[in-house]
Amino acid sequence: MTAFIDITEAEMVFNTRKGRFHALRDINLKIDQGEFITLIGHSGCGKSTLLNLIAGLLTPTGGGLICDGREIAAPGPDRAVVFQNHSLLPWLSCTENVLLAVESVFGGKEPRKKLEERARAALDLVGMSHALTKRPHEISGGMKQRVGIARALAMEPKVLLMDEPFGALDALTRAHLQDELLKIVARTKSTVVMVTHDVDEAVLLSDRIVMMTNGPAATIGEVLKVDLARPRNRVELAEDPDYVHARKAVIDFLYTRHKHAEAA
């Protein structure tokens, strides 16, 4: 039986002005439904490329990707993406931004009232009910990112794909949104694949951390299972020996065994 997401021998070669660039090779990964996976690795190793392959925004030059029994050949509403920069439409309110995504999935099948309910429920889930009519420029960066997450969740995707969703936020807002995301995912039981540079974020959120080697021709170096009970509490975890051990394993991979050339 194939896994919920099944990546087999995926390879990505880009054609550039300077010739062919081999970004990813031999990517093999099976992800179960409801799993929270983070992709971690040094800058330029191909984390976003791998996420974009799962999103269907890129087509692999070798191998294949399957999601829920179907080959991933194009982007689809079953795989919603949250980027680092919220990418909300500035002239629309928070509700209208979310509604647009809801309409793209459920429009034509459900009455307008039901679509509006879906948008409001998603904004409620991320704690943004107080800003339904506000435009993006009227809310903070953290709030914009919440609306971006609401927009993705409102599509009821099978998979939530996140490319450094909290990368542009200050440390406190980031911590707060990580905690919120943990609660949301516990409720929605979403399957999540998230790109991050942050070791603590990876350990706090993940069921498994996929650690990537440096490019060119990067691949999966190691996969670390994070066996910490949920719900997870960042304060209690700080001194948990299993947390400290997982953190050390990732740091060791990144900074000892796969040190980046620029940092060497």
Ligand X SMILES: Nc1ncnc2c1ncn2[C@@H]1O[C@H](COP(=O)(O)OP(=O)(O)OP(=O)(O)O)[C@@H](O)[C@H]1O
Q: Which residues bind ligand X (CB under 6 A)?
A: 14, 16, 21, 23, 41, 43-49, 215
Cα–Cα distance between 16 and 190 in angstroms, integer?
36
Can you give the length of the chain in residues? 264
Could you tell me the smallest distance in angstroms from the CB atom of residue 259 to ligand X?
15
Residue spans of alpha helices (H) in the chain: 47-55, 94-106, 112-125, 141-154, 171-188, 199-205, 234-237, 241-252
Cβ proximity to ligand X: between 51 and 204 the closer is 51
Residue 155 C-beta: closest distance to ligand X, Å:
23
**What are the CB-based long-range contacts (under 8 Å, 24+) for 240-245?**
243/203
Residue 83 or residue 243: which is nearer to ligand X going by CB? Answer: 83
Cβ proximity to ligand X, 223 vs 244, nearer residue: 223
User: To which residue do tokens 């516990």 refer?
Assistant: 186
Residue 98 tokens read as: 């979310």
3-class DSSP state of 193:
strand
* CA distances (Å), origin 23, targets 10, 116, 209: 11, 42, 20
Residue 264: CB minimum distance to ligand X, A: 17
Closest alpha carbon to 206 in 246, 156, 152: 246
CB of 16 to ligand X, least distance (A): 5
As a whole number of angstroms, the distance between CA 153 and CA 87 comes to 15
Query: Which residues are registered as beta bridge partners of 163?
Result: 195
Q: Which is nearer to ligand X, 5 or 119 (CB)?
A: 5
Closest to ligand X by CB, 123 vs 254, is 254
Tell me how far, at minimum, the Cβ of 128 lies from ligand X, in Å. 27
Beta bridge partners of residue 211, listed in sequence order? 40, 222
Q: How far is the CB of 116 from ligand X (least distance, A)?
A: 36
Nearer to ligand X, 12 or 160 (CB): 12
